[in-house]
Structure 1
C-alpha cells in the first residue's frame, strides 16, 4: 500500500473513532441542573419572608444551596444526626416560644456535634465560656454544661428571646448570634436600615442567615437534593435512665462499672463531665444519664 493510501486510511480511522467517542460521551453526558430545579419559589426564616426578588438576596441563597448540595459528607451527617438531636432541641424551642427554624442555626454552628472552635466556643450551640456562664451554665475543669444539649439549648433560647426583643425580628436575632448584638446594631445605625437583607455586614454574618435557609431547605426535602437515606441509616437516641447525684464521685470509671457500663459509654452520654472525677464541693444535684441497652 502506498504511503498516501496509508495516511488516508489512518485519517479515516481516527475520524470514525472520534465519532464513536463523541457518541458514547454524548449518551452518558448529564444535563446541568437548572436553577429552577432546586431553587425555591419562596423562602422564609421563622415566618419572616426572604425577599428573593432582590438580586443579591437570590444570589446569596443560591450560593449556599449550591455549596451545601455539593458538601455531600457534612450534609449527609447533619441529616443523620438531626434524627437524634432535633427531638431534644425542638420541644425546648417550642416551650420558650422560639420558632422551630432556629434548630437549623445549630446545624450551621456545629453540625450537631459538640464542636470546639479555635476561639474557645464549644458545644452544639458554640458558646464561649463567659457567655455560657452569663446564661447560667456551669463551666470549669470538671463540668462544662455547654456540652449538655438540653441546658445549652435553653441558654440559646434565652439569647434569641433577648435579641428578638431588641431588634424586633427573628432574622436579625439569628444574625446577631454570629455578629453580636452590638455589632449588628452598630451597622444598622451606620447604614440607617432596619432589615437584615438591607445590611452590608462582614462576610460570615452576611452569609449566616442564608446558610440557615439553605440547610432548612435541604434538610426538609433531602430527596429533592439527592440525599436519599433509609430510616435505619439515621442516628437514633438510646433509651436511658437518669440518676441524680449530689455528692462527689472520686472515680468515674468505677462509677460507670457499678452502673453496668464502661467509662467510654458514660462520657458519650454525659459529655458535660470533663474530668475523670466529680468533686462537687457544693453538693450540687447533677443528673447523669445511663443507657439501658444497646450501647
Structure 2
C-alpha cells in the first residue's frame, strides 16, 4: 500500500529537521574541538620593513605600493607547494643564471625576473606563445641571437637565453635609466613602457599606471625575492638533501648532422628521454648541422 502524499511530506520535514539539528550540533562540536585555531590559522604574511630591487629602493612608505606588494605576497605565500618547488629548483639554476648576469653586467636580482617569467621551467610556454626560461616570442628570439625552429630552440638553453635577456635588459636600462623600469618593460615592451611614460610624464615605475599585468609585475618579482631569500624564516623548511642539484654531465661537440637522436643517445650510453631532459633545447628527432656550425650536447657523466 502506498503512503499518502501528506504522510510523505511529514516524513520529509522530519528528516530535514533531524539533519539540521545534527548539523548544528556537529558544527558546535567542531568549534569546541578547534577552539581559537580557526581564528589564527590563516594570517597574512608581514611585509618586510624594507626591500630593494637591483639596488633601487622600493617606496614601501606609500600605501599603494604596500597594497600592491601585499597582494602578490599573500597569494604566493599561500601557494606553499610552488614556493618549495622553486626553492628546490633554484638550487640547480640560480648559480648558472647568476654567473651569466654578472658576466653581462646585469644585477643579480634579475634571476627573480626569470622565476616570475617561467618558474625556472625550460619548457614553459605562455598563452601568447612566449617560450623558455626567459619567455622570448618566436618573432623576437632571433633578434637576440636565439635560434628557434623545429630542431633547436635556444630559449630552452639556460645560458644562451640568459645572455639574450641580458642584451634586452641592458638596452632598456640605457633607455630608461632604471633597472626597475627595465624589468617592467620586459613585460610590456620598451615601446609600451615608453608610451605610457611619455603620456604620464614620468619614467618612475611606481608612479605609472600601466596595464594590469605590468602593474603587478615588479611586485611579483619582489615577492619571489622575499620568499626565496627568507624561506627558512617564513616557514618553508628544506634540508640540503631536498634541493635539486645540477645533473653531472660530460659534453660532446658535434660538427655533423645527427639523423637519429635516439640512436645517438643509445650509442652514447643513455636514452632519448635523458638526452632531451639534459638538452631541452633539442626539439626534434634529428639535428641538422651545417655551415661549419657546431653544437655542444650534454650527456650523463661517465660513472
Structure-2 change in CA distance of 1:204 and 1:21 (3 Å): closer
Residues 138-195 of structure 1 show CA distances to partners (whole Å, capped at 9, x for unaligned) of 1111111111110000000111100000000000000000010010010011111121
Counterpart contact for 1:269–1:289, Cα < 8 Å = yes
Q: CA RMSD in A?
A: 2.0
1:130 is aligned to: 139
Distance 1:19 1:137 in 2: 63
Equivalent residues, number = 279
Displacement after TM superposition at 1:87 (Å): 1.2
- Please list, as runs of the form range in 1=range in 2, the aligned pairs for 1:1-295 lying within 5 A after superposition: 22-26=31-35, 28-29=37-38, 31=40, 38-114=46-122, 115-292=124-301
Structure 1 unaligned blocks of 5 or more: 1-15
Distance 2:31 2:128 in 1: 53
Distance 1:293 1:213 in 2: 41
TM-score under structure 1 length normalisation: 0.89
Distance 2:260 2:197 in 1: 52
Residues 247-267 of structure 1 show CA distances to partners (whole Å, capped at 9, x for unaligned) of 111111111111111111100
Structure 2 unaligned blocks of 5 or more: 1-24
TM-score under structure 2 length normalisation: 0.87
Displacement after TM superposition at 1:32 (Å): 5.7
Distance 2:26 2:224 in 1: 46
Distance 1:252 1:264 in 2: 10
1:129 match: secondary structure: coil
Counterpart contact for 1:61–1:210, Cα < 8 Å = yes
